[in-house]
């Protein structure tokens, strides 16, 4: 009996071991999970937009396609332009994998001050390899109205003087052009234009601007040129005028410089003449200066010019003089008595050979 019990126990143990082994065979083998990070990827249909040669007033557009070549959503975080003449509009800021969005770039030629344009559009994204993509924008703009030169000098005039300067005007669209002179208020200036308007022409036309000087001073005037067909973009051109009208009396130089030196004397000449030599005369009646270190004498005098000799007396250690003084000159001319003040600057000598 004990032997039988021992056999039974052995059989039970064997069955338990076999069952455990068999049940383990039924389980699937353990696996290792591998995850690959997903990223967006920006692809552009073009990295340059060339609008070619345009006429001022045109407003062309071109489209660049933005494609997400990655496997995660591409986010457009911003679109920037380098010039106010360029506008960029995007269809969608979020682009799914394999999808695209259109970026429309518009160039406004009326907002360009120069003929040649080189700019760019910058696209900022969450693409780790291309966070800032740039699209170059280039164009050549022909103005509707071309002028040469763009600035006319009318310098060193005297009151009442009349002077003429010519310039050329060309309509690149063969349009009629209207001209208008814009004069500063309270300047006394008069500006006339010949011709005042230009009929349609296929080539440059010469225009003469005539200025009659007004009150003494420095002025900036302009000639406005507008095409007859203005529309939304007028295509205006401008020619500037620099006008300087002298006082009745011209003093040269306007300021006298001396270098202080202990030995000898230093003399400078001061010329006084009428701004209009054909219609005026000058006579120096009196000179006055507020420094014992100066001496002023008439060197030569005619109706058209008086030359004063201004002398700086030698200094010594006991002499104390101001570095800035002046000369008051009373001149009689056609306009009456005119008082002129010429500043005098005395510079400290540096080294032994200054003069």
The two tokens of residue 71 are 């496997």
Do 70 and 116 lie in one domain? The reply is yes
Tell me the DSSP string of 161-201. Answer: -EEEEEEEEEETT---EEEEEE--TTS--EEEEESSEE---
Do 122 and 214 lie in one domain? The reply is no
- Is 47 among the domain residues? yes
Whether pLDDT at 173 is above 90: no
Whether pLDDT at 6 is above 60: no
Q: Which pLDDT score is estimated for 172?
A: 83
Rounded to the nearest 10°, the torsion over CA 145, 147, 153, 154 is -60
Q: What is the CATH number of the domain that holds 138?
A: 2.60.40.10
Do 259 and 233 lie in one domain? The reply is no
Average pLDDT of the chain? 85
What are 176-193's pLDDT values in tens digits? 999 999 999 889 999 999
| Arithmetic mean of pLDDT, 208-232 | 89
- Is 18 among the domain residues? no
Q: Which H or E element spans position 245?
A: strand 237-245
- Is 30 among the domain residues? no
Do 218 and 296 lie in one domain? The reply is no
Q: Which pLDDT score is estimated for 119?
A: 92
Contact indicator for 189, 139 with CB cutoff of 8 Å: no
| Arithmetic mean of pLDDT, 289-314 | 89
Do 316 and 236 lie in one domain? The reply is no
Domain boundary among the residues 90, 112, 142 is at: 142
- Is 233 among the domain residues? yes
Full domain range(s) for residue 258:
249-347
Whether pLDDT at 352 is above 50: no
- Is 33 among the domain residues? no
- Is 177 among the domain residues? yes
- Per-residue confidence at 36, pLDDT binned at 50, 70, 90? low
Whether pLDDT at 253 is above 90: yes
- Is 71 among the domain residues? yes
Domain boundary among the residues 142, 165, 180 is at: 142
- Per-residue confidence at 201, pLDDT binned at 50, 70, 90? confident
Domain boundary among the residues 230, 245, 260 is at: 245
Contact indicator for 153, 240 with CB cutoff of 8 Å: no
User: Terminal CA-to-CA distance of the chain, rounded, Å?
Assistant: 144
- Is 19 among the domain residues? no
Of the ranges 2-6, 95-99, 291-295, which one carries the lowest mean pLDDT score? Answer: 2-6
Do 138 and 149 lie in one domain? The reply is no
Do 127 and 183 lie in one domain? The reply is no
Q: Which residue has the higher pLDDT, 213 or 324?
A: 213
Whether pLDDT at 243 is above 70: yes
Whether pLDDT at 261 is above 90: no
Contact indicator for 261, 314 with CB cutoff of 8 Å: yes
The two tokens of residue 96 are 């799914």
Do 85 and 129 lie in one domain? The reply is yes
What pTM value is reported for the model? 0.58
Q: What is the CATH number of the domain that holds 174?
A: 2.60.40.2310
Q: Which pLDDT score is estimated for 290?
A: 76
* Count of structural domains, the chain: 3
């Amino acid at each position: 009996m004990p032997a039988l019990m021992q056999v039974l126990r052995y059989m039970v143990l064997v069955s338990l071991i076999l069952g455990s082994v068999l049940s383990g065979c039924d389980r699937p083998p353990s696996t290792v999970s591998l995850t690959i990070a997903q990223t967006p990827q920006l692809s552009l249909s073009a990295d340059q937009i060339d609008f070619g040669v345009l006429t001022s007033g045109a407003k062309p557009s071109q489209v660049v396609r933005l494609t997400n070549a990655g496997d995660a959503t591409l986010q457009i975080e911003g679109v920037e332009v380098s010039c106010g003449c360029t506008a960029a509009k995007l269809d969608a800021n979020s682009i799914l994998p394999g999808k695209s969005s259109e970026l429309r770039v518009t160039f406004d030629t009326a907002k360009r001050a120069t003929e040649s344009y080189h700019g760019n559009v910058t696209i900022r994204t969450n693409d780790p390899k291309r966070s800032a993509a740039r699209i170059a924008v280039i164009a050549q703009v022909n103005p509707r109205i071309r002028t040469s030169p763009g600035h006319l000098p009318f310098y060193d005039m005297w009151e009442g003087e009349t002077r003429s300067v010519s310039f050329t005007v060309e309509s690149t669209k063969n349009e009629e052009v209207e001209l208008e002179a814009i004069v500063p208020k309270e300047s006394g200036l008069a500006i006339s234009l010949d011709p005042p308007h230009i009929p349609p022409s296929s080539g440059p036309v010469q225009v003469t601007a005539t200025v009659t000087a007004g009150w003494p001073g420095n002025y900036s005037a302009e000639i406005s040129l507008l095409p007859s067909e203005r529309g939304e973009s007028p295509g205006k051109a401008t020619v500037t005028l620099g006008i300087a009208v002298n006082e009745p009396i011209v003093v040269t130089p306007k300021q006298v410089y001396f270098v202080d030196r202990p030995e000898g004397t230093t003399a400078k000449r001061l010329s006084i003449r009428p701004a209009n030599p054909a219609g005026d005369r000058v006579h120096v009646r009196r000179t006055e200066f507020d420094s014992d270190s100066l001496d002023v004498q008439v060197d030569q005098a005619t109706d058209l010019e008086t030359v004063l000799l201004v002398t700086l007396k030698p200094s010594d250690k006991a002499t104390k003089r101001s570095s800035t003084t002046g000369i008051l000159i009373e001149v009689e001319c056609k306009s009456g008595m005119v008082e002129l003040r010429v500043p005098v600057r005395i510079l400290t000598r540096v080294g032994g050979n200054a003069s």
